Copies of this chain bind each other. A is one copy, B any other.
Amino acid sequence: MQNCADEWIRESNRRALLERIRQESPVSRVQLAQELHLSKSTVTDNITPLLREGIVQEVGVGLSQATGGRPPVLLKLNGAYSYIAAIELGFRAPLFALADLEGHILHRLTLSVPDGAAYPERLKAVCEKIDELLSCGGIGRDRLTVIALASPGAYSRHEGRYLLNPEFEDWDFSRFRDDLGRCFQTEVMMINDVKAATLGELHQGAAKGFRNIVYLSCGVGVGAGIILNGRLYSGTSGSAGEIARVFVPGISGPLRTRVEMNALLQKMRMQAPEATRRALRKPANRINFEDVVRLWKAGDPFTRGCIRDIAVVLGKMAAALVSVLNSERVVFGGEYLVFQSQILDILRKTILREAFDPIPVVGSALGKDAALQGLLSLACEAILDRLARST
């Protein structure tokens, strides 16, 4: 224990310095020493190699201290030291973002993958999109340090495979991760899309500053992200929060058969009354999510009723989650965030009625960007961990 304590302290000091510089840049050595309770010389000893490597930059001088002396030199992370490609595959049209080490998004793109495209075609399209991102930023492949992927679905130990919604069965995410790594000769991180969005909300969104959070996501898929004691809880094999197959009171099948987008579209196609069909202005069997949003915004009673029914079922699930986890707040996200003015209120009322200890419900602050932001946090942390060990 004592033998490795010195190395442990050095590494954790460097990691704490990098984190602080990331969060508070620009910041002086004196500030860092004060805030982290380190001696000035410890800070200097640790910063020097980081400056030499170009991981940290000096960016000017701050105000002189009250006690006099030279004005302090200010430090920040060198964003251009390494780059991250983040990809949200949980939508029909995947989102791509290129970011620097500071987590600033430099470029964004989307990709339309034709339905039914075969695996090699998908892989090729994604690789080309990453190259397009890099060339937008004028960045060579060698400076891409991490590719971070958010994908739907989760691994079932019992079935020995990823369980995915039918919409995503043309993807083969574990093979995809390996192939991308080979193609770009870089680390590829993959995480469930709901968990990525949960991290995004935790670090920069509606869950910031809280320790125990339930992120409830609904749209193409339904799932929960769980923050416990300020950290993402993934479970024994990464499938914590996989609520899509859970049975909920008042409905006959599992949750997903009533709330996911396919179920919503199916109900609209089969049951929409004459007035809704007229407002739709196209054959009901061709209705898509954009049509549903338009009808809902126009106040169509049948569409509003469908969303209300979904919210009631989600509310029961949320009440159970809140009782089990004794969280501080529920953050609602996913494609159905567009309906939040109707859904949040129903979630609140159901939680108030059914949860052991009711808590506030708020909408996602990051919306469609939640998973991308979560991926960037995760990737930045992984890079800083590595730099703290190796510098």
Interface-side segment among A126-134, A168-176, A227-235: A227-235
**When chains A and B are docked, how far (Å) is the Cα of A158 from the Cα of B355?**
10
Q: B38 near A246 (CB under 8 angstroms)?
A: no
Residues of B contacting A67 in the complex (Cβ-Cβ under 8 angstroms): none
**When chains A and B are docked, how far (Å) is the Cα of A235 from the Cα of B227?**
11
Q: A16 near B42 (CB under 8 angstroms)?
A: no
> What are 7 pairs between A and B in contact, CB < 8 Å?
A1-B13, A1-B38, A226-B324, A239-B326, A243-B320, A249-B251, A254-B354
Given A245-B356, A324-B325, 14 further pairs, Cβ under 8 A: A1-B9, A157-B357, A212-B236, A226-B324, A236-B328, A239-B323, A241-B324, A242-B324, A242-B326, A245-B354, A245-B355, A248-B249, A254-B354, A320-B320
A321 interfacial by beta-carbon distance below 8 Å: yes
User: Do A357 and B237 form a contact, CB below 8 Å, given A246-B319, A316-B247, A319-B247?
Assistant: yes
A118 interfacial by beta-carbon distance below 8 Å: no
A5 interfacial by beta-carbon distance below 8 Å: yes
Which A residues have a C-beta under 8 Å from some C-beta of B? 1-5, 9, 12-13, 16, 36-39, 42, 154, 156-158, 163, 211-212, 224, 226, 228, 233-251, 254, 316, 319-321, 323-328, 354-358
**When chains A and B are docked, how far (Å) is the Cα of A328 from the Cα of B237?**
9
**When chains A and B are docked, how far (Å) is the Cα of A332 from the Cα of B288?**
46
User: Do A356 and B236 form a contact, CB below 8 Å, given A2-B39, A5-B5, A38-B1?
Assistant: no
Each complex incorporates copies of this chain amounting to 2
Indicate which residue in B5, B13, B240, B244 contacts A326 across the interface (CB closer than 8 Å). B240
Q: B356 near A163 (CB under 8 angstroms)?
A: yes
Q: B3 near A37 (CB under 8 angstroms)?
A: yes
Residues of B contacting A12 in the complex (Cβ-Cβ under 8 angstroms): 1
**When chains A and B are docked, how far (Å) is the Cα of A358 from the Cα of B324?**
19
Interface centre among A16, A154, A233 (most CB of B within 10 A): A233
Give chain B nearest CB distance to A362 CB in angstroms: 16
Give chain B nearest CB distance to A315 CB in angstroms: 10
Q: A234 near B1 (CB under 8 angstroms)?
A: no
Q: A358 near B240 (CB under 8 angstroms)?
A: no
Residue of B nearest to A38 (CB): B1
Residues of B contacting A249 in the complex (Cβ-Cβ under 8 angstroms): 247-251
Give chain B nearest CB distance to A220 CB in angstroms: 18
Give chain B nearest CB distance to A88 CB in angstroms: 22
Residues of B contacting A246 in the complex (Cβ-Cβ under 8 angstroms): 319-320, 323-324, 354, 356
Residue of B nearest to A229 (CB): B233
Residues of B contacting A357 in the complex (Cβ-Cβ under 8 angstroms): 156-158, 237, 239, 242
**When chains A and B are docked, how far (Å) is the Cα of A248 from the Cα of B325?**
16
Residue of B nearest to A39 (CB): B2
